[in-house]
Structure 1
Amino acid sequence: MLTVGVDLAAEPAKTAVAWIDWSPEGASVRRLALGADDTLILEALREAEKAGIDCPFGWPEPFVAFVTAHQAGDVADPHEFAGRDGRRRLALRTTDIFTHDRTDLMPLSVAADRIGHTAMRCAGLLAQLARDGQSVDRSGAGAVAEVYPAASLKRWGLPSRGYKRARNVDSLRESVDVLLTAAPWLSLGEYDDLCRRSDDAFDAVIAAMTARAVSRGLVEPLPEEHASVARSEGWIALPATSIDALHG
């Protein structure tokens, strides 16, 4: 089985893609690329049996409705979204709140943070994938699933914070060591050093591993009451087992 992980950024320079081959003997990183443009990402997504993308797949439904009404000059109650609680309803998706409740980690707001630039790029990639005939379901039921590497790491009992940015490269190296200790069946091969130098590359590997969890049904089930909104806003796949279950 081949899974792909994409640590998406607004521009190719900070975008990483990982390909992981899975077999009864173990899992090995076949390829790990930094500076990935749309052509390379789509090539990888088409090849994968399941892919995970670290980026919001959609925007909060209340935010979309609010902007649409504002554009038409038809916001019924200007006070409805006033204050912190009101803005929170606009800024956060259902899956963001669900993820926070279960992991104590809060994803970036696609409506009120710079991650929105990345989500615009992601929307274009998903649209092209659908035009190519791939099954695209923002809830994760299709060819791709939305993932959140920090949440995956935390669910697997691994360090999930403090390894981002160049100043934390020592923590990144430690995170790689902890991952390989927890998953001795995983081989980074020639890309071991790249994972220790680039948190983007490391997150792409975690995204590909999370895609494996999704493909095997080893993630939190999507609550029925959130199924409809998940197909619109996107849904973060949260691992529900130990990391060993990926290879078992």
Structure 2
Amino acid sequence: MLTLGVDLAAADKRTAMATVEWLPGRAVVRDLILNVDDVRIVEAGGHVDKVGLDCPLGWPEPFVALVQAHRLGHVAVADGEGAQWRRRLAYRLTDEVVREKTGIIPLSVSADRIAHAAFRCAGLLAMLAAAGHDVDRGGGGRVVEVYPAAALYCWGLAHRGYKGRGQQVQHADLVTALRDAAPWLDLGMFEGLCRCSHDAFDSVIAALNARAAAIGLAVQPSDDQRPIARVEGWIALPTGPLSNLIHGADE
């Protein structure tokens, strides 16, 4: 099995992509590149079993309805419901599930700067679909939405404080912690890149998360949640320890 992890930024710069091969008893990072464009992501997606995209795959349905209503001048807010109304506009169903299960509050795709990456992602999903890939925003197809910070939390690893300027030590410590927790993961020649770039590191985590989704070790939407997940996107939270990812690898 091959999985692809993409840490998607608004532009090619800061976008990283990792390919992980799953073998008996081990997993090997076969490729890890920075500054990746959409064409390269689509091409790589055609050679793997599952693609983990670190980016919201859609917007909250109430937010979409608001934009349409606002265009026509028909927005109405019930008395005393302003705060809850705004929260429904800002957070998707999957964001609320992540918050409930991990305590982590995902960035709002309708109210935070991550929307810029989501704009790009919308076009990328269309390109993947046009290339013949099964794109199901609920995670049932080749593409699945992942959230590295939440995945790290689920796997018992540090999920905050390793990004940004002045965080090189914390970031390097996290790579060491990952190696200790997953001795079967071979970073090979890409270990140095993982240590110096959190974008590269996150793309590897996205590829691991894609593996969890591919083998049924990630939270899936319920029958009631699935129709919304297929529109808004669904974050595939891992449901077991890192060691479970290596079980059932291809012989």
Q: Which TM-score band (shorter chain)? A: over 0.9
Look up the equivalent residue of 1:224 and give its one-letter code: D
Q: Distance in 2 between matches of 1:163 and 1:82?
A: 37
Look up the equivalent residue of 1:218 and give its one-letter code: L
CA contact (8 A) 1:80 1:86 kept: no
Counterpart of 2:180 in structure 1 is: 181
Q: Distance in 2 between matches of 1:213 and 1:100?
A: 19
Q: Distance in 2 between matches of 1:166 and 1:245?
A: 33
Number of aligned residue pairs: give it. Answer: 247
Q: Aligned runs of 1:1-248 on 2, under 5 Å?
A: 1-75=1-75, 77-79=76-78, 83-248=82-247
Q: Distance in 1 between matches of 2:156 and 2:129?
A: 35
Q: Distance in 1 between matches of 2:211 and 2:158?
A: 20
Which stretch has the larger CA shift, 154-163 or 217-226?
217-226
Cα RMSD for the two superposed structures? 1.2
Q: Structure 1 residue 78: deviation in Å?
A: 4.2
Q: Distance in 2 between matches of 1:13 and 1:84?
A: 36
What TM-score results when the alignment is normalised by the length of structure 1?
0.97
Q: Distance in 2 between matches of 1:98 and 1:196?
A: 31
CA contact (8 A) 2:218 2:239 kept: yes
Distance of aligned partners of 1:34 and 1:68 in 2 relative to their CA distance in 1, 3 Å threshold: same
CA contact (8 A) 2:42 2:128 kept: yes
Structure whose residues are more often helix by fraction: 1
Could you list the runs of 4 or more consecutive aligned residues of structure 1 that deviate by over 6 angstroms after TM superposition?
A: none
Look up the equivalent residue of 1:139 and give its one-letter code: G
CA contact (8 A) 1:81 1:87 kept: no
Q: Distance in 1 between matches of 2:29 and 2:127?
A: 26
CA contact (8 A) 1:57 1:234 kept: yes
Q: Distance in 2 between matches of 1:73 and 1:220?
A: 39
Q: Structure 1 residue 45: deviation in Å?
A: 1.4
Deviations 1:27-77 (A, max 9, x none): 0100100111111111121211101000000000000001001112222x1
CA contact (8 A) 1:81 1:89 kept: no
Q: Distance in 1 between matches of 2:153 and 2:21?
A: 23
Deviations 1:161-213 (A, max 9, x none): 11011311110100000000000000110110100001000000000000000
Look up the equivalent residue of 1:68 and give its one-letter code: Q
Q: Distance in 2 between matches of 1:142 and 1:110?
A: 22
Q: Structure 1 residue 119: deviation in Å?
A: 0.4
SS at match of 2:163: coil
**Percent identical residues:** 52
CA contact (8 A) 2:77 2:85 kept: no
